[in-house]
Amino acid sequence: VSTPVLWTTVSVARAGLARRTASARPLVLVPTMGDLHDGHLALVRAGRELGDVVVSIFVNPTQFAPGEDFERYPRRLQEDLEQLAPLGVQAVFAPTVEEMYPRGESTRVEVHGIGDPLCGRHRPGHFVGVSTVCTKLFVILRPRIAVFGQKDAQQCLLLHRLVRDLRLDLDLVFVPTVRERDGLAMSSRNRYLRGAEREAATVLSRALAAGRGALEEGEREVAGIESVVAAQLRRGGADVDYAELRSVPDLDHPARAAGRMLLAVAAHVGKARLIDNLCVQVEDLTVREAPLLDEHTPAAVRARWGVADEEGKESTT
Ligand code: PAF
């Protein structure tokens, strides 16, 4: 067990990467904003199976809208490094704001369309901040693989589009959401929940289950399913930003549910703004939980990279 190497500047990171040998395993980036929990550690473990992992820890100011929690977002670098120590990551890239956004900078990366609905509507500028910082991380660290959590499903779809549009030589992995025992999706913002709010926050996963229940009973009208979910959130005392059922991968808003669909919710519980989602494959008579994008599951990416799966066999799809 050894604390990972810490890179705090772009030049030190580049020098560290230059020392990698040509035969090294693929470089895998796990971008985070720190305050690591088991959800992040699942991303790191998925990354470790694929190659040498660099974790970035950077609370990115440009993805916080005015009045959001940028200032009070938890920053716990030392604890994060300790948590990563047993996982065998190559390095942690934890730059300052000035390092990522040098004085006088004025460049942004914008993916049109897909960042507009859902969180984009409630967090102006958020996705421009996300696509800008991720592009910077991809350019600075030049990973071959990058791992993200499916809890941020809209972010995953946006980055999928960005990688495709910019023709980046980068394979994305989307890891299923890690939940507490009572269903609450793990998030650094769960720290903001006080007393009874912690239990109240389970209403997000319960509301998603109610939406899924409606689909299983044969409801296909998107508006009907959304109202079931929103009503459950409100009954649970949450202040709803949105409860929407949209198509994957384009996040269109059809009148009827069919094919791969994302049921996504965002709601305030106490001082915490929480998001959660459920991805389902909707057929005429059946509904099943499904990955966001089949070709970006950890198993699919392992198969693409010829990495032995959990049973120790080489995957061959
Ligand atoms: O998902 C996050 O934690 C952030 O949006 C990311 C991808 C690290 C970019 O700042």
Per DSSP, the residues of 210-273 read: HHHHHHHTT--BHHHHHHHHHHHHHHTT-EEEEEEEEETTT----SB--EEEEEEEEEEETTEE
Q: Is beta strand 272-282 parallel, antiparallel or unpaired with respect to 259-269?
A: antiparallel
Token pair in block for residue 237: 């005392």
Q: Indicate the top mutation candidate among 29, 32, 170 to test ligand 1's pocket, ranked by most ligand atoms within 8 A of CB.
A: 32
* Number of residues that this document lists for the chain: 317
Tell me, in angstroms, the distance from the centre of ligand 1 to residue 59's CA.
Answer: 8
Give residue 24's pLDDT. Answer: 81
Ligand 1 is surrounded, with C-beta below 6 A, by 31-33, 60, 63, 130, 133-134, 152, 155
Nearest atom, ligand 1, residue 152 CA: 1
Please give the chain's pLDDT, 317 residues, in tens.
788 999 999 999 999 999 998 878 999 999 999 999 999 999 999 999 999 999 999 999 999 999 999 999 999 999 999 999 999 999 999 999 999 999 999 999 999 999 999 999 999 999 999 999 999 999 999 999 999 999 999 999 999 999 999 999 999 999 999 999 999 999 999 999 999 999 999 999 999 999 999 999 999 999 999 999 999 999 999 999 999 999 999 999 999 999 999 999 999 999 999 999 999 999 999 999 999 999 999 999 999 999 987 655 554 44
Tell me, in angstroms, the distance from the centre of ligand 1 to residue 95's CA.
Answer: 14
Tell me, in angstroms, the distance from the centre of ligand 1 to residue 186's CA.
Answer: 14
Give residue 1's pLDDT. Answer: 75
Nearest atom, ligand 1, residue 159 CA: 7
Tell me, in angstroms, the distance from the centre of ligand 1 to residue 103's CA.
Answer: 22
For residues 77 and 34, the answer to whether their CB atoms sit within 8 Å is yes
**Which residue has the least CA distance to atom 8 on ligand 1?**
32
From the list 235, 26, 303, the residue with the least C-alpha distance to 144 is 26
The CA distance from 17 to 85, in Å, is 19
DSSP letters for 113-181? TTTSSTHHHHSTTHHHHHHHHHHHHHHHH--SEEEEEGGGHHHHHHHHHHHHHTT-S-EEEEEPPPB-T
Tell me, in angstroms, the distance from the centre of ligand 1 to residue 231's CA.
Answer: 30
Tell me, yes or no, if 40 is annotated catalytic: yes
**Which residue has the least CA distance to atom 3 on ligand 1?**
32
Nearest atom, ligand 1, residue 32 CA: 8
Give residue 313's pLDDT. Answer: 57
Q: Indicate the top mutation candidate among 64, 101, 155, 159 to test ligand 1's pocket, ranked by most ligand atoms within 8 A of CB.
A: 155
Predicted model pTM: 0.96
Nearest atom, ligand 1, residue 58 CA: 10
Q: Quick one: CA dihedral 216, 220, 224, 227, positive or negative?
A: positive
Q: Indicate the top mutation candidate among 69, 100, 152 to test ligand 1's pocket, ranked by most ligand atoms within 8 A of CB.
A: 152
Nearest atom, ligand 1, residue 137 CA: 9
Give residue 317's pLDDT. Answer: 45
Tell me, in angstroms, the distance from the centre of ligand 1 to residue 273's CA.
Answer: 16
CA distances to 67, 98, 109, 130 from 105, rounded to whole Å, are 22, 10, 13, 16
For residues 197 and 274, the answer to whether their CB atoms sit within 8 Å is no
